[in-house]
Structure 1
Amino acid sequence: MIMGDAEAFTREFLPLFRPVPPTRPGVCRICHSGPNNAGHTGEPWATCASCKRTTMNLYGHTPHVVPISLTTRNTQLYDVLVRERDLNGAGGRRGRGDFLAATVAHFYHRHVRCLEGLAGGPFTLVATIPSNDPELPARPLHIMWEVVEKVGALAPLWRPPILLEADTTFAPVLADRRSHRDAFRILWPGWVSGARVLLVDDLFVSGAHVQSAASALIESGAAAVVALVIARLINPASRSPHSAGIWQEACERPFSFAHCCVCDPARGTGA
């Protein structure tokens, strides 16, 4: 998918997206959701409780998760990502895979320098996370496989399959929002050693899948792992005093592909 097509495709669906806040007090430095307050000071933790849990007991993890958009469960973007629905656009029915590919292509074109800055240089490998659904064991493919193959800037760095489900016994672990260093295995370690990896996924919920995959890549010698996810699921009704404010801010601020949570000019401002 070429850039002009991606920009035109996403233009009519801009209302589906919500801006992701940059790292600042009250925004998790990993997933850009709202962390809990520290009991002894009342100040927000640097990372949310979910990211603290999913980055423990691993060989390594990525501190760099870049969501394109925030979402909640009652949005059309969530329906596309989770309920696998296509979209109705001005040109008729728009396929889910094409929409996701256009979203990734447009964002990557705009923010490749932001992503490479986190990785410490140009990416040398692109990976996706295989399906780890306990109801669909041993299904190695995922919608993001199709998406990455359609993005012209990423397809040359795509080496399927790098990550494979290690054992079906880990599917319930990840479904319970717990990470595990043995949940995924690397099929071709030689491709990973020394690589700067862009790990592309559709929805970041707890981080269990992303961080388990990042751990496997790092254990196989990856020099850096940056996770690019289409959406970060946020729960405005959670007990976190920050999540509702983050979502309200996201609904009040217009979304633009010109800014991301790395280069957002709102960096450092309050929610």
Structure 2
Amino acid sequence: MIMGDAEAFTREFLPLFRPVPPTRPGVCRICHSGPNNVGDTGGPWATCASCKRTTKNLYGHTQYVVPISLTTTNTQLYDVLVRKRDPNGPGGRRKRADFLAATVSHFYHQHAHCLQGLAGGPFTLVATIPSNNLDTPAKAFHIMWQVVERVGALARLWRPLLLEADTMFAPVLADRRAHRDAFRVPRSDRLDNARVLLVDDLFVSGAHVQSAASALIEAGAAAVVTLVIARLINPASKDPYSAGIWKQACEQPFSFDCCCICDRHDRAQNPRNL
């Protein structure tokens, strides 16, 4: 997808997106949701309970999840990602795949340097997470495979690195639990010192993402950074932070010009913006 097309496409859908906060006290350093309080001090944990659970007992995990937007279950963005509905903008209804490709393309063009900074250098490989449908090889890969194919900067690096090891792990992942054996990398695809960008559509608990990252790291990847279109957040959560994060996100205009990574760097350099 040509960058000009992606920018023009996403412009009419800006109201669907919500800005993602940078890492700070009260924002999970991995997934940018709201963590629970530390019992003894009353302050926030550095990571949320979900990320603590899904990073346990793995060979390795990604420390960096970069959502383009926050979302809740009652938004059009959630309908596009989960209910597979075509988005409806001022110009009318558009194809879901076009919307997803334009979103990833525009964001990556603006923030490739942010993502590469987390990986320690330019990405050498791009991966997507397979779905639970193993009926045919074409259906074994999530729609994000088709999306990445349409983003020039990512398509040339994409390889079918991940396979679902066994359908027995589908219920485990559905129960929001990660497992180091849920995915496998073919033996022919050794990833020695590779810097991998893992692209997915929706981050809920992190079970799929962290299980996939574990397989990539076990196969030799030096770094795995995950780019997701949206991080699902629950404003009604028992933690004292998620509601505030969502409220702030709804009050601030969204722009593709900033992300939760470069915004974090800006805040570190300009404490007055905190």
What TM-score, normalized by structure 2, do the two folds share? 0.94
CA distance in structure 2 between the partners assigned to 1:153 and 1:38 by the alignment: 42
Task: Indicate the residue corresponding to 1:171 in structure 2.
Answer: 170
Q: CA deviation digits over 1:107-163, x for unaligned, max 9?
A: 00000000000000000000000003xxx455512110110000011000011x210
Percent sequence identity is 79
Q: Quick one: structure 1 residues 189 and 181, their matched pair in 2 at CA, closer, same or farther if it must change by over 3 Å?
A: farther
Task: Indicate the residue corresponding to 1:207 in structure 2.
Answer: 206
Give the C-alpha shift of residue 187 in structure 1: 2.1
Task: Indicate the residue corresponding to 2:54 in structure 1.
Answer: 54
Instruction: Tell me how large the CA RMSD over aligned residues is.
Output: 1.5
CA distance in structure 2 between the partners assigned to 1:153 and 1:188 by the alignment: 26
Q: CA deviation digits over 1:91-120, x for unaligned, max 9?
A: 433110110000000000000000000000
Give the C-alpha shift of residue 193 in structure 1: 2.1
Asked if structure 2 preserves the Cα contact closer than 8 Å seen for 1:128 and 1:163, the reply is yes
**What secondary structure is seen at the aligned counterpart in 1 of 2:70?**
strand
Task: Indicate the residue corresponding to 1:17 in structure 2.
Answer: 17
CA distance in structure 2 between the partners assigned to 1:202 and 1:8 by the alignment: 21
Task: Indicate the residue corresponding to 2:41 in structure 1.
Answer: 41
Asked if structure 2 preserves the Cα contact closer than 8 Å seen for 1:162 and 1:188, the reply is no
CA distance in structure 2 between the partners assigned to 1:48 and 1:192 by the alignment: 30
Amino acid at match of 2:128: T
Pairs aligned (count): 267
Asked if structure 1 preserves the Cα contact closer than 8 Å seen for 2:19 and 2:68, the reply is yes
Task: Indicate the residue corresponding to 1:87 in structure 2.
Answer: 87
Give the C-alpha shift of residue 67 in structure 1: 0.3
Q: Quick one: structure 1 residues 210 and 270, their matched pair in 2 at CA, closer, same or farther if it must change by over 3 Å?
A: farther
**What secondary structure is seen at the aligned counterpart in 1 of 2:189?**
helix
Task: Indicate the residue corresponding to 1:65 in structure 2.
Answer: 65
**Unaligned 5+ runs, structure 1:** none
CA distance in structure 2 between the partners assigned to 1:172 and 1:270 by the alignment: 44
CA distance in structure 2 between the partners assigned to 1:70 and 1:221 by the alignment: 31
Matches within 5 A, 1:1-271: 1-132=1-132, 136=133, 138=135, 139-159=139-159, 161-187=160-186, 189-264=188-263, 265=266
Q: Quick one: structure 1 residues 188 and 90, their matched pair in 2 at CA, closer, same or farther if it must change by over 3 Å?
A: farther
Q: Quick one: structure 1 residues 270 and 38, their matched pair in 2 at CA, closer, same or farther if it must change by over 3 Å?
A: farther
**Unaligned 5+ runs, structure 2:** none
Give the C-alpha shift of residue 208 in structure 1: 0.2
Asked if structure 1 preserves the Cα contact closer than 8 Å seen for 2:190 and 2:220, the reply is no
CA distance in structure 2 between the partners assigned to 1:141 and 1:163 by the alignment: 9
CA distance in structure 2 between the partners assigned to 1:60 and 1:227 by the alignment: 14
CA distance in structure 2 between the partners assigned to 1:229 and 1:31 by the alignment: 10
Asked if structure 2 preserves the Cα contact closer than 8 Å seen for 1:189 and 1:220, the reply is no
Q: Quick one: structure 1 residues 77 and 40, their matched pair in 2 at CA, closer, same or farther if it must change by over 3 Å?
A: same
Amino acid at match of 2:235: P
CA distance in structure 2 between the partners assigned to 1:7 and 1:188 by the alignment: 39
Amino acid at match of 1:168: T
What TM-score, normalized by structure 1, do the two folds share? 0.95
Give the C-alpha shift of residue 248 in structure 1: 0.3
CA distance in structure 1 between the partners assigned to 2:130 and 2:66 by the alignment: 19
Asked if structure 2 preserves the Cα contact closer than 8 Å seen for 1:20 and 1:70, the reply is yes
CA distance in structure 1 between the partners assigned to 2:207 and 2:17 by the alignment: 23
Amino acid at match of 1:261: C
Q: Quick one: structure 1 residues 188 and 103, their matched pair in 2 at CA, closer, same or farther if it must change by over 3 Å?
A: farther
